[in-house]
Each structure stands twice: as C-alpha cells, then as structure tokens.
Amino acid sequence: MTGTAYNAYLQAETLHSLQVPVTQNEGERSFLVVCQVQELYFALISHDIGAASDHLRKDALPDATASLQRAASHFAGLNASWRSLGWMLPADFAAIKVGMTKVHGKSTSLQSWKYREMLYRLGLKDASLGDEVATMPKEYAQLRRVLDAPSVYEEALALARRRGHDLQESNDDGVTDGEHPLDPAVVSFWTSVFTSKEPECSELLALARALIAVAEGLAEYKYLHYVTTSRTLGARPAHFGVSGTAWLTPTLTVMPFPELWATRTGGE
C-alpha cells in the first residue's frame, strides 16, 4: 500500500486531476473548482433530502428532521462558494464560455442534472427541466425516477395523514412550481402546528422549521446565482437566446413547501 490513508479516503489524486481548463485565463481554475464544488453540494443536499423522505415513509420523524437540518447546513457552504467568483469580470466569463463551447459545445449551468434532482426532491417538479440532460440516459432515467416519486413535502403530509390529520391526498403529482393553488386544509394544518402548545406537535414543529430552513437556503442560492449572473453576464443573451438575468428573475419567487410559507400571513 502506498500513499496515506487520508489521501486514499478522499481519492485526492483523482480529485486534483479533475480541473481541465479550456483557456489560459489564470482565474479559470477557480471557476472550475467552484462549479465542481457546487455540483458536489447539489448531490449532497439531494442525498439528505432523499434520506429525509425515507425516514418519513418509516414514520421516523426525528431522523427525518435531522436529515433536513443537515441539508439546510449544506446550503451555507454552497452559498458561500459564490464569493470565490467575486473577482470575475464579464471579459473573464466570456473567455471561459468561448473556450468551453469550443471544447465541449454549447453549455449552461442549467444542464446540471444534480441541481434538477435536488429541486425534484423538494417538490419543484417542472418536468421540462429534464430535457437538457435527455442525452445522458443513465442520469435522465434517475431524474425521471425522482420526478415520479413523492417529494419530501408529500412524504411529510403523508405522515401527517397517518397521524390522524384530515388532509386530502394531492391530485397534482406533487408539482409545486409556484403556479398551483394553495390547499387551505394544508395551510390550516401547518398553522396549527406553529401555534399549538400540545407536546405531540413538537416533532412536527421541528420538521416544519427544518423544511423552512432548507427553503431559505435554496432561496439564497438562487438570489446569489442571479447576482453573479448580473455581474458577469448582465443582460446579454445566454444559452436559450434570452438574457440570463431575465431567465432567472421569475425563478426567484418560486419556493418549495408553499403552504408552509402561507402560514406566515397569520404569523407563527
């Protein structure tokens, strides 16, 4: 056996060989590393959201909450990674995009299949988001499985039904893309969770707060993505022929777990 246990465990040699620049721009390495780190965080968050769903199906509510709390903490690292791109000017980004297109073809960060998987697990199930990765059969098949499976929010409501709360099953396949009407019964349920003083509601309250923390992490990520795009691309046309900022703007207000947010109207 050669090397050290630390390097073997991290596969550090492989890890440090994965940055293959497409330009001579000395800053490109930071762009590559940040994008790779973000991909790992997408996968990590998706993993813990999936674990939370598994725990909810088994009625293991404290374990589900712990998984969601981990996922929320991962957003802190993911969102902090944007700061490593604060140096990047439009000319730097343009050079990298030209080199990337020359070597790998037309690209966009929207082609991240792990980001889509994370959104699907959270219940933001826009099926058309999978189209960009349809040329990757294995990853596309995984995306479709997650799309068709209950989201973590659906699993939370299913657990609530099993515990005797009067909630109807969803008829919209768990799609929460910001355009579906709120379910008043679900809003009322979450409101009662936030206001109840009954001990049996304490576990549901912890779950609700963990879900909110995850949603806040996602909202911050999307905002920082928008700010970074504004700084490095501005209103110039991007991958789909429209302004990158114009494409991102409507996504800023799309939040998972809509009924949880609706309870804020009446206060916690």
CATH number assigned to the domain comprising residue 96? 1.20.58.480
Query: 19 lies in a domain?
Result: no
What is the residue range of 150's domain? 25-156+177-265
Query: 244 lies in a domain?
Result: yes
Name the residue type at position 239: H
pTM as predicted: 0.91
Question: How far apart (Å, rounded) are the C-alpha atoms in residues 45 and 220?
Answer: 14
Query: 67 lies in a domain?
Result: yes
Query: 122 lies in a domain?
Result: yes
Within 10 Å of residue 236's Cβ, how many Cβ atoms?
A: 11
Q: What is the pLDDT of residue 29?
A: 94
Q: What is the pLDDT of residue 171?
A: 59
| Nearest alpha-carbon partner for 103 in 200, 206, 22 | 22
Q: What is the pLDDT of residue 267?
A: 46
Query: 4 lies in a domain?
Result: no
Domain count for the chain:
1
Query: 14 lies in a domain?
Result: no
Q: What is the pLDDT of residue 241?
A: 60
Query: 214 lies in a domain?
Result: yes
Question: What DSSP letter does each residue of the chain carry, written as one string?
Answer: --S-HHHHHHTHHHHTT----SSS-TTHHHHHHHHHHHHHHHHHHHHHHHHHHHHHHTT-HHHHHHHHHHHHHHHHHHHHGGGGGTT--HHHHHHHHHHHHHHH-S--GGG-HHHHHHHHHHT---GGGGGGGTT-HHHHHHHHHHHHSPPHHHHHHHHHHHTT---PPPSSTT--SS-SPP-HHHHHHHHHHHH---GGGHHHHHHHHHHHHHHHHHHHHHHHHHHHHHHHTTTSB-TTSSBHHHHHGGGGG--SSHHHHHGGGT--
Q: What is the pLDDT of residue 249?
A: 86
Residues of the chain with pLDDT under 70: 1-2, 107-110, 171-179, 236-243, 266-268
